[in-house]
């Protein structure tokens, strides 16, 4: 499903329960600003290749736009617009003084050499520097972008601006002004939310079974924290394939194995299965942590679990949502479940602006507190309005906040 249609359906579904001016939908259905740049990069063979990149600034009522930058061959304008809208709602959910932004470049980085990737990252900054800024729009890593890419981009921005604006990007290495705890923040946040839901539905986490789709930054850290809580990870996938072991997979070893450049499916002493059949495995907790549309009307019927914690953005289509809710599955929506990443990005930005840095323990505790506070407020709204659908409640909670500020600003 087109992700922009998906987010619009989600906005409409929340607005149906709210008594707001219809213009709120128009204000939220499309980004306030959208940039579309083509920029040249010199390849190793001396040829020039033109890359296309987008940046979407969805809504800045609550503060400067904030959101990741994705390098992927399937990036589209609508996907970037949708991802920026989800960022607006996510920041509102966890109470951050940010609006939503997102960017993407159409490229498969696996086809580039290290030098080409650096030149692409620097060229991105030259193309987009005028539309971003530490009080305007603050990018961060997303799928296929990382701390090294942020470092090259920050360095290029210093040359362009003639000064170091360290808060211009988040997700930086610690040595370049990054925050302790940022790397694990999103995955750990997913686990914090699973723990809260497990308490509410009285599911003991000790020996609970978990299936993880996507074993990158989010999936691997969510798995690690869930293991700390006593859960058993019984299946894991990446883009190449999947593995399962009903007795439990050693996640720490798997993480080291993958970080050494291996595929999940080459991990020894486990059963290899077809990548997408991971959804057929019965479990207590399912964590989609790959890309949008992973859970759709074609596989929702076969999914058997108690909790779905959306590590990825937009992994569940609205049709699948309905099927899963009917089955009584508790879905922790992306705009809450994976909000730990932007929460710690906000901490990174604040630490950069203050020039004062916190310990990892402090960062992760503040993250957990912020997410639990958001969770409790949304859960209370679910109980008050008798809504079983946490996504709808989270959207209502966010839209209420954003619409109040848009009204104060005179936008509606």
Catalytic annotation, residues: 102
Q: Report in angstroms how near the CB of residue 229 gets to ligand NAD at its nearest.
A: 20
Residue whose CB is less far from ligand NAD, 144 or 403: 144
Q: Which parts of 335-364 interact with ligand NAD (CB under 6 A)?
A: 338, 341
CA distances from 49 to 45, 52, 122, 123 (A): 11, 10, 14, 11
For ligand NAD, which residue of 312, 378, 390, 394 counts as binding (CB under 6 A)? 312
Q: Is 403 in the site for ligand NAD (CB under 6 A)?
A: no
Alpha-carbon span 134 to 166, nearest angstrom: 8
Q: Is 144 in the site for ligand NAD (CB under 6 A)?
A: yes
Q: CA angle, corner 300, sides to 295 and 301, nearest 5?
A: 165
CA distances from 189 to 100, 117, 132, 207, 364 (A): 19, 30, 27, 20, 9
- Cα dihedral 249, 360, 286, 196 sign: positive
Q: Give residue for tokens 């007795």.
A: 247
Nearest of 188, 229, 190 to residue 208 by alpha carbon = 229
184, 222 contact by CB (below 8 A)? no
For ligand NAD, which residue of 10, 179, 217, 343 counts as binding (CB under 6 A)? 217
In the shown chain, the binding pattern of residues 288 to 307 toward ligand NAD, with x for contact by CB under 6 A and - for none, equals: -xxx----------------
93, 128 contact by CB (below 8 A)? no
In the shown chain, the binding pattern of residues 147 to 186 toward ligand NAD, with x for contact by CB under 6 A and - for none, equals: ---------------------------------------x
Stretch that binds ligand NAD, among 285-293, 316-324, 378-386, 395-403 (CB under 6 A): 285-293
Determine phi and psi for 375, rounding to 5 degrees: -55, -50
For ligand NAD, which residue of 79, 116, 184, 238 counts as binding (CB under 6 A)? 238
Q: Give residue for tokens 């500020």.
A: 405
Q: Is 216 in the site for ligand NAD (CB under 6 A)?
A: yes
Nearest of 12, 138, 16, 94 to residue 333 by alpha carbon = 94
For ligand NAD, which residue of 157, 208, 313, 389 counts as binding (CB under 6 A)? 313
Contacts of 46 (CB under 8 A, 6+ apart): none
Stretch that binds ligand NAD, among 130-138, 161-169, 234-242, 300-308 (CB under 6 A): 234-242
In the shown chain, the binding pattern of residues 182 to 211 toward ligand NAD, with x for contact by CB under 6 A and - for none, equals: ----x-------------------------
Contacts of 36 (CB under 8 A, 6+ apart): 52, 53, 54, 77
Nearest of 343, 295, 351 to residue 321 by alpha carbon = 295
For ligand NAD, which residue of 60, 137, 142, 321 counts as binding (CB under 6 A)? 142
Q: Report in angstroms how near the CB of residue 99 gets to ligand NAD at its nearest.
A: 16
Residue whose CB is less far from ligand NAD, 88 or 313: 313
Residue whose CB is less far from ligand NAD, 123 or 222: 222
Binding site for ligand NAD (CB under 6 A): 142-144, 186, 213-219, 237-239, 275, 289-291, 311-313, 338, 341
């Amino acid at each position: 499903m087109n992700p922009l249609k998906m987010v619009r359906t989600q906005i409409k579904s929340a607005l149906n329960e709210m008594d707001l001016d219809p213009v709120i939908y128009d204000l939220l259905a499309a980004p306030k600003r959208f940039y579309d740049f083509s920029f040249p990069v010199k390849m190793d063979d001396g040829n020039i290749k033109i890359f296309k990149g987008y940046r979407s600034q969805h809504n800045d009522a609550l503060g400067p736009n904030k959101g990741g930058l994705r390098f992927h061959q399937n990036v589209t304008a609508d996907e970037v617009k949708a991802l920026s809208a989800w960022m607006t709602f996510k920041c509102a959910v966890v109470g951050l003084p940010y609006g939503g932004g997102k960017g993407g470049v159409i490229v498969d980085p696996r086809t580039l050499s290290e030098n080409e990737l650096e030149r692409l990252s620097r060229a991105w900054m030259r193309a987009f520097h005028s539309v971003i800024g530490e009080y305007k729009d603050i990018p961060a890593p997303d799928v296929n972008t990382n701390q090294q890419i942020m470092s090259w981009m920050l360095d290029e921005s210093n040359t362009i601006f003639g000064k170091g604006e360290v808060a211009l990007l988040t997700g930086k290495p610690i040595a370049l002004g990054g925050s302790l705890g940022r790397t694990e923040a999103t995955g750990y946040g997913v686990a914090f939310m699973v723990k809260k839901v497990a308490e509410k539905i009285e599911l003991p986490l000790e020996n609970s079974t978990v299936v993880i789709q996507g074993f990158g930054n989010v999936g691997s850290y969510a798995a690690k924290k869930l293991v700390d809580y006593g859960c058993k990870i019984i299946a894991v996938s990446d883009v190449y394939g999947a593995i399962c072991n009903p007795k439990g997979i050693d996640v720490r070893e798997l993480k080291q194995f993958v970080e050494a450049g291996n595929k999940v499916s080459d991990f020894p002493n486990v059963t290899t299965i077809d990548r997408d059949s991971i959804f057929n495995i019965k479990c207590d907790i399912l964590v989609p942590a790959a890309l949008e549309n992973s859970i759709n009307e074609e596989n929702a019927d076969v999914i058997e679990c108690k909790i779905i914690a959306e590590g990825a953005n937009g992994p569940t289509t609205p049709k699948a949502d309905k099927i899963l809710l009917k089955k009584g599955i508790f879905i922790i929506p992306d705009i809450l479940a994976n909000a730990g990443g932007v929460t710690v990005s906000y901490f990174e930005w604040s630490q950069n602006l203050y020039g004062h840095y916190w310990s990892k323990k402090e960062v992760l505790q503040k993250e957990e507190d912020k997410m639990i506070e958001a969770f409790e407020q949304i859960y209370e709204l679910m109980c008050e309005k008798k809504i079983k659908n946490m996504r709808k409640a989270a959207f209502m909670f966010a839209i209420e906040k954003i619409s109040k500020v848009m009204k104060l600003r005179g936008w509606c």
